[in-house]
Amino acid sequence: MSANAAGAKALVFDVFGTVVDWHGSVAREVRGLAREKGLRVNAAKFAKAWRAGYRPAMDRVLRGEAPFEKIDVIHRAILEDVLKQFKVATLTEEEKARLNLVWHRLKPWPDAVRGLKRLKAKLIIATLSNGNTSLLVDMAKHGGLPWDCVFSSDTFKLFKPDPGMYLGAAGMLDLKPEEVMMVAAHKPDLRAAAACGLKTAFVKRPLEHGRGTALDLASEPEFTVNAESFLDLADQLGC
Amino acid sequence: MSANAAGAKALVFDVFGTVVDWHGSVAREVRGLAREKGLRVNAAKFAKAWRAGYRPAMDRVLRGEAPFEKIDVIHRAILEDVLKQFKVATLTEEEKARLNLVWHRLKPWPDAVRGLKRLKAKLIIATLSNGNTSLLVDMAKHGGLPWDCVFSSDTFKLFKPDPGMYLGAAGMLDLKPEEVMMVAAHKPDLRAAAACGLKTAFVKRPLEHGRGTALDLASEPEFTVNAESFLDLADQLGC
């Protein structure tokens, strides 16, 4: 293990994009539904538009402009907008409810389950996600994600990057901030965790937004670890 | 599955006594420590005295007479009293801190892990314990308890039998109360859960207080299921 990473007892994981492939999973289900219903929809663009509404909705909550809501509720409100934007008017209420739960069925990246099992053998592994608990539990059961513990936005009634999320997880594990490492594919999430005293692991997910979208994948010396995958992370942490 | 049990999607488990053997585990560690330090202590009585302080301390919090504290803190305060009561004055601070964490290392009953694995294949399984999160996570890692999710007193800043514990777990799972089954070896816990609309499973643990202590093990028609073990529970739930 690198000297900097020593002392980490728990890893807390961002989930959407870091552990699971939201873009591929959502696009695949939208494509299937479109075929079934005879709709003409660009499924990849639909997935991106749905995801794009997510951060602004959470920011309204963090600024106190909207009450706390579970991501399931936020996703559903965005879905209504996106369906209008894509001129899809023929889904039944049942089809919309089922489609909204696609976020409970997102598929893990190919290295995720194997990597998590190796990490779990030596360290506590937990989610620290803006998703809600039921979403994260369903996703873990679908995908075989072996979490020791699920921390979610509804555990704390907050969203990342509020410091209460990072410090809340450390507090519930009775660990000092520096004994916890935040694992994410997103630099702002890691920088917010680092500002709370957590260690950080940047994991590169070049296909998070599908093919053909350039992402900032540069390693940064400010992070405790920069890794190509969860298997690389396990190697670097000596797991 | 019995008709009454149909519709349960998640099982939430009392932990101390229901999943793990607190009496045997604590007595064993106390016996080991006494041998090491040359103390004369009745380890079985010591374990019972330590446990006996637990319910009154939680009740003080529920009545608003004391602020919410994690069970680790409550256990430590009771330990100081019990050490006095048993005239043990020679433990160092480090030995007391280590002994206090015995509750993180309680051993599962012999049927627990196998039963939980069968139940987990078809249903969500979560703790719903007055223990704190770090205690429950450590215990699961020590004992191989395969929880989907950990709900604890510090998830809700409450203790059972406050209705906010039972309804809080159902709410975080986005399930109706009747879709959740409380599993416990203690009838008052089950009755409090039933009053909130949850289904109930009474699991008999005749050795919870060690040998020679008579417990009320009678099946009750008021409970959805009465079971001899987690394997029997899995049979009855068709898992």
The interface predicted TM-score (ipTM) is 0.94
CA dihedral (A165, A169, A175, A176) in degrees, to 10, reads -10
User: Would an 8 Å CB–CB cutoff place A174 in contact with chain B?
Assistant: yes
| pLDDT of B2 higher than 90 | no
A137 → closest Cβ in B133, B140, B148: B148
**CA B66, CA B58: separation in Å to the nearest integer?**
9
Residues of chain B with C-beta less than 8 angstroms from the C-beta of A132: 172, 174
Mean pLDDT of chain B: 96
- With a cut of 70, say whether residue B62 has pLDDT above it: yes
Q: Kindly report, residue by residue over B159-183, the tens digit of the pLDDT.
A: 999 999 999 999 999 999 999 999 9
Question: Burial level of A216, CB count in 10 A (0-12/13-18/19+)?
Answer: exposed
Partner residue opposite A149 with nearest CB, options B124, B150, B174? B150
What is the structure's pLDDT at A86?
95
Q: Which residue has the tokens 């488990």?
A: B13
| CA A217 – CA A203 distance, rounded (Å) | 9
Residue B129 is predicted with a pLDDT of 98
Confidence of residue B3 (pLDDT cuts 50, 70, 90): low
> Residue A3 has what pLDDT?
67
Q: Say if CB B137 and CB A149 are below 8 A apart.
A: yes
Cβ distance B148 to A140 less than 8 Å, yes or no, reads yes
Confidence at residue B212, expressed as pLDDT on a 0 to 100 scale? 84
Any chain A CB within 8 A of the CB of B154?
yes
Task: Answer yes or no: is pLDDT of B214 > 80.
Answer: yes
**Tokens 């919090």 map to which residue?**
B61
Q: A140 in contact with B at a CB cutoff of 8 Å?
A: yes
Mean of pLDDT over chain A = 96
Share of chain A above pLDDT 90, in %: 95
Secondary element (H or E) of residue B188 = helix B187-195
Does the beta carbon of B172 lie under 8 angstroms from any beta carbon of chain A? yes
| Highest mean pLDDT out of A34-38, A117-121, B66-70 | A117-121
- What residues of B are in contact with residue A74 (Cβ under 8 Å)? none
Residue A115 has pLDDT above 90, yes or no: yes
B74-116 per-position pLDDT tens digit: 999 999 999 999 999 999 999 999 999 999 999 999 999 999 9
> Does B1 have pLDDT greater than 70?
no
Q: Residue A114: in which H helix or E strand, if any?
A: helix A112-122
Nearest chain B alpha carbon to A174: B134
Name the minimum distance, in Å, from the CA of B103 to any CA of chain A.
15
User: What domains appear along chain A, each with residue ranges and CATH number?
Assistant: 10-21+106-236 (3.40.50.1000), 23-104 (1.10.150.240)
How far from the centroid of its chain's Cα atoms is residue B15's Cα?
3
Considering chain B, what percentage of its residues have pLDDT values greater than 90?
A: 95
Judge whether residue B58 has pLDDT over 80. Answer: yes
Q: In the predicted model, is pLDDT for residue B220 greater than 80?
A: yes
CA-based nearest distance B213→chain A, Å: 34
Contacts of B205 (CB under 8 A, 6+ apart): B17, B18, B109, B185, B215
Choice among A209-213, B73-77, B195-199 with the minimum mean pLDDT = A209-213
Candidates B124, B140, B175; nearest CB to A148 = B140
Is the minimum CB–CB distance between B71 and chain A shorter than 8 Å? Answer: no
Tens of pLDDT, residue by residue over A139-180, are 999 999 999 999 999 999 999 999 999 999 999 999 999 999
Question: Would you call A71 exposed, middle or buried from its count of C-beta atoms within 10 A (0-12, 13-18, 19+)?
Answer: buried
Q: B 189-228 residues with CB below 8 A of A? A: none
User: Would you call B14 an interface residue with chain A, using a CB distance cutoff of 8 Å?
Assistant: no
Q: Which residue of A lies nearest to B132 if distances are taken between CA atoms?
A: A172
